[in-house]
Amino acid sequence: MTLLQLTNLSLSIAGKPILKDISFSLDAGQCLGLVGESGSGKSLTALSIMQLLPNRSSLVGSIDLVGDDLVGLSEQALCRRRGNVMGMIFQEPMTALNPLKTIGAQVEECIRLHASVTRHEAEELAIKQLQRVGLDTSRTSPDRFPHQLSGGQRQRAIIAMAIAMQPSLVIADEPTTALDVTSQAEILALLKELMLEDRSALILISHDLAVVADMADKIAIMKDGAIVEAGPLPALFNELNHPYSKGLFAASTHKPTRKKPPLFSDAPSLEQQKPILDAKKIVRSYPLPRSFPYLERSVTRAVDEVDLTIYQGQSVGLVGESGCGKSTLARTLLGLEKPQDGTVRIGRHDPYAAGKEDLLNVRKDIQIVFQDPNGSFNPRHKIGQSIAEPLHLYRNSLSRSERDARILASLEQVGLDASDAEKYPHEFSGGQRQRLALARALITKPKIIIADEPVSALDVSIRAQILDLFADLRDRLNLAYLFISHDLSVVRAITDEVMVMYRGKIVERGRTEDIFSAPQNAYTQTLMNAAPNLMDAIDKRQREQKDPPAK
């Protein structure tokens, strides 16, 4: 039975066309994956169905939900449907919940709006829904406020609100993008289970093909506000036609080609060499607020006795959940945050003990590329000025022409033009800005670059290009990388060795392929199992299709 039918839906906002001729249908209990890069119109398709569009938008076409056309329906009639027959799950659970209300009250509100029940009954129903999403009320009281919950728990509370009335359609807009890999796997499993229980249809919006490949019965790939290709899963992956969807698929499984074999720490060639970055037993702890004015402060160890060595030309990955201390470790290694204990050596020097002169030289050897391409550059400085900033380390020993030559060489190394130096950061796309960040890092001819989630904010196809650039620069300039990421597929694609960090400690280190194929540590195993993998997901789906699991 067709539950939702979109016919030639077109949306324009303030005269600017956003969606073009979107048509698809969805049966009860089915899951549709809506995939595309940022700006492709995925979210606005979802908001069109919910009729929660911004001002000055005009919608043409029809959205048929159980026999009613939602386009042009009165606000009152829409309010009866929102949260009742259709529910929505948002990307950022912190902003989707009201911080001033308890989670119990927020679920209850949704129930009382749509069902004629007493306050007491609504309260009981809300508790039941919270239990359904795995927020056991004996451990997670419904009287808690959103800030008292973890990211995964918050997302569960949002799901409880969305499914409270057992709607026939649930729209999940990037429901796991803001979460760690392990919580992502749990949330996806939960969604799957709930859809089965309620026989609801699910529209799952994601930029991650692997997530969709695992969950969806059907997939629609969007680009520039139009669906370029759609079909059933997993069959569609074998017969992709449109060049864009082929490209997207290729980029999702992309692995940069290596010109050199991976370099392992136990390689015989490294026996006489000194590591370029050598850290021993680093501890970085932060004081917690006192619970009582005269009590002693307790401390939290963000980085707990971490040992780390990286040799010239070696790229090492650092993976772990958010808050496990990855970024703190990076800042400590860079010489920006003095560790309480342990030593850091960059080349021959300890940045925390080096004299002024030595410190300048140390800093030339180690540079960083950040995650957020928007925040990496001062918006008021021209790119040339920003890129040349690390040349301050040379004080005044470089002449003007030498400076300019360095800027030009850096820009060329990352595939940009000399004319780009005269532009401002906002004139570049996210991918270009990440190239510029690399150009800035390269300008001092460093031996090692720390890359803190360098591709997390980028779209899949851009991500593939930037990874290629990283790999290419490593091979050409014999650079070493410390590649920090929560995205395991990225780390797998670029590193020789991987370290797994958990609660401030390194729990496992080894060759990348070994760690991925046969993780030893229990936490690493959980992490590996939770990470979505496109090829594995397709394999699993195809096997299931051949002999369907007994229901």
Residues at the interface with other proteins (CB under 8 A): 13-14, 16, 18, 38-44, 53-57, 174, 331, 334, 336, 359-360, 363, 367-368, 370-372, 374-381, 386, 389-393, 424-426, 440
- The least CB distance from residue 54 to other proteins, in Å, is 3
DSSP 8-state symbol, 13:
E
- Pairing relation of β-strands 218-223 and 31-36? parallel
Q: What phi and psi values does residue 378 have, to the nearest 5 degrees? A: -65, 120
- Taking CA atoms, 303 is separated from 311, 322, 502, in Å, by 22, 13, 10
Backbone phi, then psi, for 297, in 5-degree steps? -70, 135
Q: How far is the CB of 150 from other proteins (least distance, A)?
A: 22
Q: CB nearer to other proteins: give 85 or 330.
A: 330
Q: Is the dihedral of CA 380, 382, 387, 388 positive or negative?
A: negative
For 73-98, b/e burial (b = at least 16 CB within 10 A) is beeeeeeebbbbbbbbbbbebeebbe
Question: Which residue's CB is nearer to other proteins, number 34 or number 160?
Answer: 34
State both tokens at 320: 């772990």
Which residue, 301 or 381, is less far from other proteins as judged by CB? 381
Please provide residue 445's backbone torsions phi and psi, each rounded to the nearest 5 degrees.
Answer: 50, 60
- Report the residue number, 376 or 489, with the smaller CB distance to other proteins: 376
Task: Report in angstroms how near the CB of residue 218 gets to other proteins at its nearest.
Answer: 21
Instruction: Please provide the DSSP assignment of 444-489 as one string.
Output: T--SEEEEESTTTTS-HHHHHHHHHHHHHHHHHHT-EEEEEES-HH
- Residue 339 CB, nearest approach to other proteins (Å): 17
End-to-end CA distance of the chain: 21
Q: Which is nearer to other proteins, 133 or 457 (CB)?
A: 457
Rg (CA), the chain: 26
Our CB check for other proteins shows the closer of 55 and 399 to be 55
Peptide bond preceding 232: is omega within 30 degrees of 0, i.e. cis? no
β partners of residue 485 = 319
Nearer to other proteins, 245 or 327 (CB): 327
Q: What contacts 294, CB < 8 A, 6 or more positions away?
A: none
* Closer by beta carbon to other proteins, 106 or else 386: 386
Question: What is the smallest separation between the CB atom of 33 and other proteins, expressed in angstroms?
Answer: 16
> Least Å distance between CB 338 and other proteins?
13
For other proteins, which is the closer residue by CB, 48 or 168?
Answer: 48
Give the integer Cα–Cα distance in Å for 14 and 104. 39
Cα–Cα distance between 199 and 217 in angstroms, integer?
Answer: 14
Residue 173: CB minimum distance to other proteins, A: 9
Task: Select from 190, 158, 185, 192 the least CA-distant residue to 30.
Answer: 192
55 or 401: whose CB is closer to other proteins? 55
- Find the shortest distance in angstroms from Cβ 260 to other proteins: 28
Closest distance between other proteins and the C-beta of residue 379, in Å?
A: 4
Nearer to other proteins, 58 or 273 (CB): 58
Minimum CB separation of residue 305 from other proteins in Å reads: 25
Q: Which residues contact 266 (CB under 8 A, 6 or more apart)?
A: none
User: Contact 330/482 with Cβ under 8 angstroms?
Assistant: yes
State the minimum distance, in angstroms, from the CB of residue 395 to other proteins: 9
